[in-house]
Structures are given as structure tokens and as C-alpha cells.
Amino acid sequence: MSSVTPRAVPFYCPFCGEQELRPGDPSGWRCEVCERLFELQLVAIGGEA
Ligand SMILES: [Zn+2]
């Protein structure tokens, strides 16, 4: 009942695994560690009506 699901920043760098991500492009993120740009696709959990 007290499970906290952080959905604000559930991301981590797919390249180095760090969580030092900063919003770069409107549809992309930039890793501060390896300085790579990548896009994240949010998957709707539970499905949409
Ligand atoms: Zn990285």
C-alpha cells in the first residue's frame, strides 16, 4: 500500500546507466555523464481507454 512509484524521473541513461539526465530537446534527453542525446518513449502503463 505504501509502495512509492517514482514516475517523475524513471529514466536512466541507456548508454552508461547513470541518472544524470537533463532535458535537451523537447523530445530528447541529454546525459551529463557520457554526453549522449537520446529520446525516451513513455509507455502508457495499464493501457489507455
Ligand atoms: Zn550516459
Q: What is the mean pLDDT of the chain?
A: 76
**How far away, in angstroms, is 49 Cα from ligand 1 center?**
35
Distance from the alpha carbon of residue 27 to the mean position of ligand 1, in angstroms: 17
Per-residue pLDDT tens over the stretch 26-40: 778 889 999 999 886
Say if CB 20 and CB 33 are below 8 A apart.
yes
Please say if the pLDDT value at position 1 is more than 60.
yes
pLDDT at 10 over 60: no
What are the domain boundaries of the chain?
A: 9-40
CB atoms within 10 A of CB 32: 13
Q: How many CB atoms neighbour CB 31 within 10 A?
A: 22
Contact present, 18 and 33 (Cβ < 8 Å): yes
Residue 21 — φ and ψ, nearest 5°?
-105, 140
Please tell me the distance between residue 47's alpha carbon and the centre of ligand 1 in angstroms: 29
pLDDT tier at 7, thresholds 50, 70, 90: low
* pLDDT for res 35: 93
43, pLDDT greater than 60? no
